[in-house]
Structure 1
Amino acid sequence: MPSAYVLDNGAYNIKVEHSHAAEPKLIPNCIMKAKSEKRRLFIGDQIEECRDASGLFYLLPMNKGLIVHWDLQKTVWDYILSKDCCPANFAETPCIFMEPYFNFASIQEGVAEIFFEEYECQSFLRIPTGDLAEYHYRKLNPTAPCCLVIDTGYSFTHVAAYINGKREPKATKRINVGGKVLTNHLKEIISYRQLNVMEETFVMNQVKEDCCFVSQDTKADFAKCRLKYPQNDIVREYILPDFTTLRRGYVQTLDQPPVVEQQKLRMNNERFSVPEILFHPSDVSIPQIGIAELVQHCVESCPEEARSHLYRNIVITGGTALLPGFVDRLYKDVRALASEEYDIKITLPKK
């Protein structure tokens, strides 16, 4: 079976590789400038070569999940397709390009023009990420007539219902909450309470990935955070990197020996109050419903005979879904909203 070149153009990471590969390469979809090396631009994963990654200045080709700076995006694609990253022979290999739902026609035309004219692509398929997630789920579960795909990424979260392999347009919805909102909110909280980190997006995104989790009972966890350690088993210390002896920070409990020479953050209720935005966007003045309500709204927009199948076949994709506790909390909230007659099953594919 011939392979295809698959490029998932995410706003935070681009996932790229030939279809026969075991796993994709993750390339940051950005160009970065560093204070320590002002004459050089770091494209994608070249940031690993930077000696001091503090105070990085980001040049982002995408805003709110849509391509807005074509020169930057083309530079990132040029690097990805170069021999230093993941080259492709488009004369023989078809290209599958994944895009978000509701992409503008002008952006679709621009992408097609670049790949056909600049990269001389012979076969090109542009498709929403959720369509392929549903296709893969249906291959593994051939008896499932319906599927509900939740794609929670960097810029926003989509929920889309599929019935007999076809997406229902009226049951495809979006909320403007994703990993970027969480990282920015975490930066604001830490900057107000402890240390000015408003320019440390790279580091604070790592703090979010290493420290944060989705609470199953926010009231109980907030009450626990008011206690002292060890009764408070949520509080942690995050040792910040200095980019000389330590490239990435790490989490430790309070009973471990103190690290004197390194800066550190005390992470308490921030660990779960930040991801709570996914379920209650109004907490940060975003006038939209949370993911659980969005799931219910999409299912209720479908014919009644399909609803039980949709609740039983919920599949999640996107990097934000990797937060610990996300699936359990989503199940709990959807279970509380859905009618008792419906069974609920949520699948998070392995990385």
Structure 2
Amino acid sequence: MKAKSERRRPFIASQIDECRDASGLFYILPFQKGFLINWDTQKTVWDFIFSKECCPVNFSEAPLIITEPLFNFSSIQEAMTEIFFEEYECQSLLRINATDLAEYHYRKLNSNESTVVVDSGYSFTYIVPYIKGKKYKDGIRRIDVGGKVLTNHLKEIISYRQLNIMDETYVINQVKEDSCFVSQDFMADMEIAKKRGSENTIVKDYVLPDYTTIRRGYLRDVVKPDEDLEQQTLRLNNERFSIPELLFHPSDVGIPQMGIPEAIIEAIGACPEENKESLLENIVLYGGCTLFPGFRDRVYKEVRAFALDHYDVNVTLADNPLTYPWEGGKLLFKDPEFYSFCMTKEEYEEEGKSLAFERFDI
């Protein structure tokens, strides 16, 4: 990120705490729609990660696992492989999808044969069926809705109704995280949101940060106008549940795609008949968007409604949805066969990029 008043210096990860102008922060994104396009920015991030102040690493001993999106472009794969072997002098490298690591994590804990992995993150949501540890490519579905679409939509709604906050992506992202939830009955919640006074249990005030006494905003009950005029607040009513609803109905903002539960059913429907029962019993959710309260219950409810009655449906929300694939990577490293999945610097120098495409079948 950079700040409007300190344009020279980028803030990476935890360095954000050092920023004096937190209200003027804006994102500089190396990724667009989930794919790496800005190499200079990403290189700055990697340099910080491997630096003494973050995670000093000796690449001559430590292998590196790096995740990449499904169906990544070959030009991006080549450049990533080249950077890690030639600039960072990595001795062994494993390029892998985050969904593979999540599936490995789930399979190690549950010893099941088939899994449906749902990765709902910042740029997109992927639904990936696995059969015996292998991706079933015909069943992979991608929905172009993630946290970014939700934050942008919330910015537009608040700017239209209350206060122009179109430049405050960082703050509104926090508003979304702190106040939104997934409705279990959208129309019933809409009726509650129309009510006035104490009958409306949904309406809340979000106290905005002032960056002197309050570093991060918070949600509170609505107070009478004469009680508190000191802090700037946003009044949130049906936005609290209508924003996450986009994950279930992307067409609400003009994205002509199906919602997550439908996509899960369609992904399973594309798989062999004998695996469908096991897939429905092993649906695992991870990624930032799955943290909304009520998300797992709503996915279960809708998948249960779509599935045939005689099938069991089981939907698991990862213990920590943000680090679930990372934990899977930690487990994978302990696997006796781990090094057979990697590519070494020697192999790269001898056979070049073509071997990387064979070894890392994405």
Q: Same fold (TM over 0.5)?
A: yes
Deviation per residue, 1:234-276 (Å, 9 max, x gap): 1110000011111100000125995422110001000000000
Which whole-Å CA distance do the structure 1 matches of 2:143 and 2:269 have between them? Answer: 17
Equivalent residue number for residue 211 of structure 2:
243
Deviates most, 102-111 or 277-286 = 102-111
Asked whether 1:232 is paired with 2:194, we answer no
Q: How does 1:84-163 map to 2 (within 5 A)?
A: 84-142=53-111, 144-163=112-131
SS in 1 for 2:230: coil
Aligned equivalent of 1:297, options 266, 271, 277? 266
Match of 2:46 in 1: 77
Kindly indicate whether the alpha-carbon contact (under 8 Å) linking 1:229 and 1:254 is maintained by their aligned counterparts in 2.
Answer: no
- Alpha carbons 1:229, 1:235 under 8 Å: kept: no
- Post-superposition CA distance 1:15-36 (Å, at most 9, x none): xxxxxxxxxxxxxxxxx22133
Does residue 164 (structure 1) correspond to residue 111 (structure 2)? The answer is: no
Match of 1:317 among 286, 289, 299: 286
Classify the secondary structure of the residue corresponding to 2:219. Answer: strand
d(CA) in 2 for partners of 1:242, 1:260: 14
- The correspondence of residues 139-288 of structure 1 with structure 2, limited to 5 A, is 139-142=108-111, 144-255=112-223, 258-288=227-257
Per-residue displacement from partner, 1:132-175 (whole Å, max 9, x unpaired)? 11111111111x21110000010000001111111100011101
Change (3 A) 1:255 1:121: same
Code of the residue aligned with 2:276 in structure 1: it is R
| Alpha-carbon distance in 2 for matches of 1:307, 1:164 | 13
> Contact conserved, 1:186 with 1:270, CA < 8 A, in 2?
yes
What whole-Å deviation, never above 9, does each CA across 1:74-125 have from its counterpart, x for those lacking one?
0111011111111211110000101111111111111111111111100100
> Aligned equivalents of 2:207 and 2:5: distance in 1?
21
**Is the Cα–Cα contact under 8 Å of residues 120 and 146 in structure 2 kept in the other structure?**
yes
Deviation, structure 1 residue 49: 0.7
The corresponding residue for 2:351 is none
- The 2-side partners of 1:70 and 1:261 are apart by 44
CA RMSD of aligned residues (A): 1.3
- In the TM superposition, structure 1's runs of 4+ consecutive aligned residues that sit over 6 Å from their partners are none
Structure 1 224/56 Cα, relative in aligned 2: closer, same or farther at 3 Å?
A: same
2:310 maps to what in 1? Answer: 341
Kindly indicate whether the alpha-carbon contact (under 8 Å) linking 1:56 and 1:199 is maintained by their aligned counterparts in 2: no
- Displacement of 1:47 in angstroms is 1.4
Amino acid at match of 1:232: N
- Matched letter for residue 238 of structure 1: Y
* Sequence identity (%): 61
Are residues 40 and 221 of structure 1, via their aligned partners in 2, closer, same or farther at CA, if it must alter by over 3 Å?
same
CA displacement at 1:348 relative to structure 2: 1.0
Cα distance, 1:43 vs structure 2: 2.5
User: For the residues of structure 2 that align with 1:299 and 1:91, how far apart are their CA atoms?
Assistant: 42
Partner letter of residue 59 of structure 2? F
Distance 2:228 2:7 in 1: 31
Structure 1 regions of 5+ residues with no counterpart?
1-31
Check conservation: 2:5, 2:24, Cα contact below 8 A.
Answer: no
Distance, in Å, in 2 between the alignment partners of 1:131 and 1:198 is 36
Confirm or deny that 1:61 pairs with 2:25. Answer: no
With CA pairs under 8 Å and 6+ residues apart, which has the higher RCO, 1 or 2? 2
Higher share in helix: 2
Q: Distance in 2 between matches of 1:37 and 1:121?
A: 34
Distance 1:314 1:113 in 2: 36
Q: TM-score, normalising length from structure 1? A: 0.89
Aligned partners of 2:26 and 2:170 also within 8 Å: no
Number of equivalenced pairs:
319
Say which SS state the counterpart of residue 278 (structure 2) adopts: helix
Secondary structure class of the residue paired with 1:91: coil
Residue 20 (structure 2) aligns with: 51
Query: What's the secondary structure of 2:23's corresponding residue?
Result: coil
Whole-Å separation in 1 of the counterparts to 2:38 and 2:132: 37
Q: Which moved more, 1:96-105 or 1:218-227?
A: 96-105
Does the 8 Å contact 1:240/1:265 carry over to 2? yes
Structure ID, larger Rg:
2
Higher strand share: 1
SS in 1 for 2:267: helix
In 2, Cα distance between the equivalents of 1:145 and 1:42? Answer: 43
- Residue 41 of structure 1 deviates from its aligned partner by 2.6
Secondary structure (helix, strand or coil) at the match of 2:61 reads coil
Give the whole-Å Cα distance in 2 for the aligned partners of 1:259 and 1:86: 45
Amino acid at match of 2:89: E
Specify whether residues 258 and 165 from structure 1 end up closer, same or farther in structure 2 by C-alpha distance, changes over 3 A only: farther
Distance (Å, rounded) in 1 between the aligned partners of 2:300 and 2:74: 35
